Structure 1
């Protein structure tokens, strides 16, 4: 009978936290980074979890001190359900209030049942796309123009599009696009992502009365064109059920990079 144990890492077993990374250069970089954080006091070993069985490391997870950052479990592709449940339960015990857990198919099998058995609740499914901005040409839309998010009419439009409290970070640009009636009917924003040379896009939305006019596709192309002026790649996502947005990604040469499941406590 296979038994599974979940224990925090120690300074000696820290390499086990990168044991499942197939790219050994990447694993070495991550291990050095963790050692630096450990030496500087930013990494607490009690926040690290290693799942083991008789055959070795089955998985691991890092619980961030900031609850807003989800936990990304890394598991063997053939990890048994009992193993996944053991790690999921340990993460739940160590997680802070409101912390989420995120399954990414690049890191773990997308099997919700073992996590639900442990007490996590499946909240949503998302897909992540990546776009090589150097491999495609995107045209700026002559009708698109930048706007101030604090302008009263734009703030009202943001409210109607479901983002009334939107606050743009530094170096982000808000873009408006008019519909067939000449009135502003779509909003989107573009700015730096969280990694070097990566752009992020927030396609805020199109008013329902302007749907079917191709505004979402046009606006997304314009935002990609702006992004290509400063960045080499774009990374973005949407709900797995959002077929309209997924078609836009496909039209613009984006590649499906990951499928994810979000769990809440």
Structure 2
């Protein structure tokens, strides 16, 4: 019978935070970065949790000081659910009140029950796709226009699409597409992603009355074409239940790379 414990990392046990990474070169790089961050005062070891048993490291989780950055637990795929619940409870004590926990099927088994039992609420299920921007070409739509978020008509449209306070980061471009009647009905944005040579796309949406005209597919293709001018890859996602957007990804040769469960605090 295994006894499970959760403890903060120490300078000596820092290698345990990369113990489950199969690619040892990647593990070594990550360990070097963590040691540099620790030396520079950018890494707080009490926010780096390690789940252990008699057989060794069962999992770990690194909580950043930025609440917008979710926690991605890394767990053995045969770890017992009782152990997962122990780590989930520890995360409640350390993670920020607005911080999410994301279970990614590349890093951990997608078992919601241990987190729910520990006091987390399953908020959503997402799927992540990767698109090679070098494998094929994507058409620029002749009706697409670059617009500014502070244009009065665009700000109204952003409000209608549920993103009234959208502010674009540096390097991002906002694109509008009209419906068949000529009225602007779809918005999307493209810009640099979080990884080198990778683009990100924000498919802001299509007005309900203009759906079914293929605007989403055209807009996504246009944004991919813009992204291909600067980047080699696009990584993006959508809700697992969003069959329409998933079909758009499929049409454009995107590859499903991950399924994620998102949790928020019960309180």
SS of alignment partner, residue 126 of structure 1: strand
In structure 2, the partner of 1:39 is 39
How far apart, in 2, do the equivalents of 1:100 and 1:218 lie?
A: 32
How far apart, in 2, do the equivalents of 1:120 and 1:208 lie?
A: 33
Equivalent residue runs for 1:120-131 within 5 Å: 120-131=120-131
When the two structures are superposed, what TM-score results if normalisation uses the length of structure 1?
Answer: 0.99
When the two structures are superposed, what TM-score results if normalisation uses the length of structure 2?
Answer: 0.98
SS of alignment partner, residue 217 of structure 1: helix
The C-alpha deviation readout for 1:56-106, integer Å capped at 9, x for no partner, is 100001111122211110000111101101111111111122221111111
In structure 1, the partner of 2:20 is 20
How far apart, in 1, do the equivalents of 2:217 and 2:96 lie?
A: 39
Deviation (angstroms), 1:201: 0.5
The C-alpha deviation readout for 1:15-55, integer Å capped at 9, x for no partner, is 11000000000000000000001111111111111100111
Structure 1 gap segments, 5+ residues each: none
SS of alignment partner, residue 248 of structure 2: helix
How far apart, in 2, do the equivalents of 1:57 and 1:231 lie?
A: 37
How far apart, in 1, do the equivalents of 2:163 and 2:97 lie?
A: 25
Stretches of 4+ moved more than 3 A in 1? none
CA RMSD of aligned residues (A): 0.7
How many pairs are equivalent? Answer: 265
SS of alignment partner, residue 258 of structure 2: strand
Equivalent residue runs for 1:46-61 within 5 Å: 46-61=46-61
Equivalent residue runs for 1:115-264 within 5 Å: 115-264=115-264
How far apart, in 2, do the equivalents of 1:145 and 1:5 lie?
A: 56
The C-alpha deviation readout for 1:210-236, integer Å capped at 9, x for no partner, is 111000000000000000011000011
SS of alignment partner, residue 85 of structure 2: helix
